[in-house]
Structures are given as structure tokens and as C-alpha cells.
């Protein structure tokens, strides 16, 4: 009876360790997938920020060119 009890206890221990390992593997897979999704989202946000910065820079250049043109016209009208 003692051997049977010890065998069942050992079997229960092995089963609990095995199921814990499966849970850990699932958590690792979930973490990897979440990390990948977070990285993709961060890359998309970075791309959007770069596009916005490029548009703002283009607008600033256009405004500076227009202001320069107006300043030149004003300066030449006085002569």
C-alpha cells in the first residue's frame, strides 16, 4: 500500500510539473505574439510621425519661400 501511495504521489508530481511546463510554453507564445504586435504598432506610429514631420517641414519651406518672395516684392516696389 505504501508503494502504491508513493507511486500515485510521484505520478501527481510529474503531472503537475508537465502541465506547468505547458502553461509556461503557452505564456511564452502569447508574450512573443504580444511583443510582435507591439513592435508593429510602434513601427506604424513611427512611420506616421515621420510622414507628419515631412509634411510640416514642406509646409514651413513653402511659407518661408512665400514670405521671402513677398519681402523681395516689397523691397523692390519702394525703388
Domain boundaries, the chain: 50-78
pLDDT beneath 70: ranges in the chain: 18-24, 78-79
pLDDT of residue 78: 53
Rounded Cα distance, 9 and 27, in Å:
27
pLDDT of residue 61: 95
Helix (H, G, I), strand (E, B) or coil at 3: helix
Rounded Cα distance, 43 and 18, in Å:
38
Rounded Cα distance, 55 and 12, in Å:
64
Rounded Cα distance, 5 and 32, in Å:
41
Amino acid at each position: 500500500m505504501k508503494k502504491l501511495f508513493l507511486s500515485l504521489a510521484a505520478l501527481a508530481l510529474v503531472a503537475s510539473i508537465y502541465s506547468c511546463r505547458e502553461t509556461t510554453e503557452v505564456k511564452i507564445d502569447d508574450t512573443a505574439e504580444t511583443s510582435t504586435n507591439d513592435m508593429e504598432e510602434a513601427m506604424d506610429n513611427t512611420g506616421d510621425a515621420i510622414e507628419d514631420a515631412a509634411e510640416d517641414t514642406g509646409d514651413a519651406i513653402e511659407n518661408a519661400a512665400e514670405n521671402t518672395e513677398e519681402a523681395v516684392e516689397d523691397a523692390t516696389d519702394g525703388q
